[in-house]
Chains A and B, each alone.
Chain A
Amino acid sequence: MKTLKMLRLSLAMLLLSSLATACSGNNANNAGAETNSKPDSTNSANAGTEEVKMDKVTYTIFNGVAGSKDGNTNETTIGKMLEDQTGTNFKLEFLVGDLNTKIGTMIAANEYPDVLIPDAAIEEVLNAGAFIPLDDLIEKYGPNIKRVYGDDLDQMRSADGKLYFLPMSAQVGDFVPDPEPTAAFWVQRRVLEEAGYPKIKTLDQYMELIENYAAKHKDEGLTGMVSLTHDWRFFATANPPMHLLGYPNDGNVMVDPATLEATTYSGSDGAKQWLQALNTLNSKGMFDKASFVDNYDQYIAKLTSHKVLGFFDYRWQVQTALNVLKDAARKDPSLDGYNYFPLPVTFDESIADAYVDGPGGLVTNRGVGITVSAKNPERIIQYFDNMLKEENQILITWGIKGETYEVNEEGRYYRTQEQINKIDEAFNEKFGFKYYSWNWPSYGNNSTLSDGNARGVGYQPEVFQMSLTDKDKEILGKYDAQTYTQMFAKPIDRPWYPAWGFVKEQNSPELMWETNKDELTKKYYPKLVLSSPDKFDSIWSDFQKEWGKLDTAGYEKWTTEQVKKKVDMGK
């Protein structure tokens, strides 16, 4: 490697001198002088001084998740306050192109920002030895880190027993469930209204509800269901069997809470039942065939077109569409019927649904670490520790009392309508909610503050109630519920959840299985849904033949092992 580098270097010099006309001599000189030692200029302000706490210092962070525009934290209100407390500022850079490319070049060149959030590339970064161990630093400077993460940190240790990165969040205090489910079978409210707000529990009931409405409104050009299939979002069409069987989104497997056995479902009878239901719907002309060729934008456009009666999806995927409909209905209540209402649909009434996320395990394959490039890493740990103080957790979510939230006589936090209106995208950026909403060590979203208030604004029941329209409340009232979540089964504790978060080695049989499975389902599911019903069984057996070639047993065995490991660690 070294000789190679020398060769490259000498050739570089040769070139630069030969091209003296094309490029300034100034530049050529730099090439020789600086290549061997690359001092990081960003924190040179701090280089000479030792441990004067309030010394102003700026660190660089590279965030492997695209999230916001680049900038300095101290340009925001929150960031400025945190800088006043610690003297530390962060210069944030967010990923723009491909993550693996960017991280790959950092590793190959052995040049890192001070703090790195490598997202999915964390294995590579750890293997490269880019992170420094944090144990001693936390011991010395991290009382709040210890308080918040506690024993969780033991789950994060590498094989050598050291801790190299902090998880993004940890559950603190009581678990406050999300007032809305993570995923659901959605249906237009006018459909429910016309049917007299029946209790819909099973897929059969759901299909019947949609078919009945469509039959009564034949001439309106309605579509019964659409389904999202575009590119990596295909899981919106492939995942329902898991949910219909009463399991939460564990990716490719369903994990039995009693035995901890993981089983796949993509080629199972559950999948067959789901696809057959869609096939039947299609044969009646009520499934949108274009589902299998539409892109994401087309799908969202259809959901806002008022013509689609129902669909299955995760809330975060369709939020933009739901918001458009909600906004329209708020301005013109007669449009309320086009809003979608989430339903806890399973195959059978005896199956409890799992659409609401419960308290899961710690996400151990995502986090933030300090790299070998950072000078005085204790300043960074101190900053993280300071952020985890409860007052600062309130600051980054609720903001400043009197400005972005109020406290009533009972000590409950809330926002006035005026404050709610004030907080838009631009405000989020300027105030710093945007920079601090994600990817910093912090309390989990479902956490509770020590005074009993919810840590997340949207999780505070009073705030959620305020966000509901009269019509929302009326419909929820028909089902004796105050929040959408109350329509669904109570989540149970699954310490391995989510199983899709397990780390897989590059090029491993597990990754290969997943790629093959994706390819197979993407190819066969459209055929199964769009075929004429009498051909369904023969296509299914073709699919089964191909499916049998995959090493599914090996994948299930591996996943089961991981589940058990995770459960053991959590104990």
Chain B
Amino acid sequence: MEKRNRIRTSRGDRVFEICNFIFMILLMIVTLYPFINILAVSLNDAQDSIKGGIYLFPRALTLDNYQYVFKEATIFHATLISILRTVIGTVVTVLGSAMVAYTISRQDYVLRKFITIAFILTMYFNGGLIPNYLLMRDMNLVGSFWVYILPGLIGVFNLIIIRSFIENLPESILESGKIDGAGDFKTFISIVLPLTMPVLATVALFSGVYQWNSWFDVFLYNSSKINLSTLQYELQKILQNSTATAGTSSMDGMINGANGSQQGAVTPLSIRATMTIVASVPIIMVYPFLQKYFVKGMMVGGVKG
């Protein structure tokens, strides 16, 4: 990296760099806008947001929407479960996928082809909702934390990506382990794992985001277990609640005397914006920490070692 900075820059290079810079700025505007917009709506008075026309800044600044979301005590416990499933699920899937990926990257492994195809095919079919549900029930996973972890133990996509990486590693490095007389497992642990950090970081990000965002499995298997509920599911509940409130507000108005001011009442529009921020900011923060694995070439460490 440092070396490349010294490289002389030609005229063409300068033009390219300026164009590239402008392009990146445009890209950032286009991709940042929705977030700014959502943030603005989430910080705007719900009843005011109904009128539309909020783009970059809140028009009637308030924290009511966040207060509404966080007033539920359940949300903190649910966040804990979300973190737990994200951490455990990610660690398990990264290690498991890497392990299998290593075995099927070994050209000499007799089960290589069988295992590879067996895994790949599963990407393209699904037995359906009810058979899956019955399986989870028969395995006693319904109402258990492990229903978040076990069904997604290995992501085939992740598996294949890791395998491609291992296959890309220079033969000589893998060989060096063998010459040391290390066993397959030791090679995996002490050579393959460290050398594939960039792809493991990628896979960790993919599965972490997947785990963090999941709510359908909570809905399906654990909806009546409040102590296993996750942040995303609690947010879904709050959203549903606000939708129902908006839908029956006429009815409520009727029942409660028609005159009650709607001031401050939440709307699905505002709650959706608020929950987008609440749910996504924590997981977005993960990425910058993983980035260091992408910038540093693994080869740097590899050659030194």
Chain A residues proximal to chain B, CB less than 8 Å: 5, 8-9, 12, 15-16, 22-23, 27, 30-31, 34-35, 60, 62, 65-70, 93-97, 101-102, 104-105, 108-109, 111, 113, 178, 297-298, 300-302, 304-305, 315-316, 319-321, 323-324, 327, 330, 397, 415, 417, 419-421, 423-425, 428, 433-434, 437-438, 445, 456-459, 463-464, 466-467
Contacts and interface: CB of A to CB of B under 8 A. Distances in A.
B261 A327 contact: yes
Contacts of B269: 297
B87 to A, nearest CB: 15
B237 A423 contact: no
A319 B249 contact: yes
Contact of B146 (A23, A35, A320): A23
B258 interface: yes
Contacts of A320: 50, 246, 249, 262, 267
B255 interface: yes
Contacts of B142: 109
Interface stretch (B129-137, B161-169, B178-186): B129-137
Contacts of A97: 216, 219-220, 236
B209 interface: no
Contacts of B153: 22
B260 A458 contact: no
Contacts of B246: 320
Nearest to B220: A105
Interface string B241-262: 1011111111111111111111
Contacts of A330: 261
Given A65-B244, A96-B237, A315-B250, A301 B259 contact: no
Contacts of A302: 52
Interface of B: 47, 50-53, 72, 92, 96, 129-130, 133-135, 137-140, 142, 144, 146, 149-150, 153, 216, 219-220, 223-224, 226, 233, 236-238, 240-241, 243-267, 269
Q: Which of A8, A66, A102, A315 has the most CB of B within 10 A?
A: A66
Chain A interface mostly: helix
Contacts of B130: 104-105, 108
9 contacts: A23-B149, A34-B140, A102-B219, A301-B50, A304-B50, A323-B253, A424-B261, A433-B252, A437-B255
Chain B interface mostly: helix
Nearest to A15: B139
Given A108-B134, A298-B52, A323 B255 contact: no
Contact of A467 (B135, B245, B255, B258): B258
Nearest to A322: B250
Contact of B257 (A35, A319, A463): A463
Given A458-B255, A463-B258, 13 more contacts: A8-B134, A67-B248, A105-B133, A178-B254, A302-B52, A304-B50, A316-B247, A323-B253, A421-B261, A424-B260, A424-B264, A438-B248, A463-B257
A35 B136 CA distance: 11
Contacts, number: 182
B262 A70 contact: no
B267 A31 contact: no
Nearest to A108: B130
A345 to B, nearest CB: 21
A325 to B, nearest CB: 10
B160 to A, nearest CB: 21
Contacts of A16: 139
Q: Which of A95, A113, A425 has the most CB of B within 10 A?
A: A425
Given A96-B240, A101-B220, A109 B259 contact: no
The 7 tightest CB contacts between A and B, nearest first, are A301-B52, A458-B254, A467-B258, A467-B259, A66-B240, A31-B140, A319-B250
A507 B233 CA distance: 32
Q: Which of A5, A8, A62, A458 has the most CB of B within 10 A?
A: A458
Given A316-B250, A421-B260, A12 B138 contact: yes
A9 B257 contact: no
Contacts of B262: 320, 323-324, 327
A270 to B, nearest CB: 28
B76 to A, nearest CB: 15
A297 B261 contact: no
A420 B260 CA distance: 6
Nearest to B254: A458
A327 B133 contact: no
Contact of A458 (B219, B245, B257, B264): B257
A445 B254 contact: yes
Contacts of B267: 320
Contacts of A459: 254
Given A423-B257, A423-B260, A458-B255, A94 B240 contact: yes
A508 B130 CA distance: 23
A420 B139 contact: no
A97 B224 CA distance: 13
Contacts of A421: 260-261
Given A8-B135, A35-B138, A464-B258, A96 B244 contact: no
A69 B216 contact: no
Contacts of B135: 8, 12
Nearest to A330: B261
Q: Which of B53, B72, B130 has the most CB of A within 10 A?
A: B130
A27 B144 contact: yes
A292 B262 CA distance: 29
A397 B252 CA distance: 10
B232 to A, nearest CB: 11
Contacts of A105: 129-130, 133, 220
A323 B219 contact: no
B106 to A, nearest CB: 21
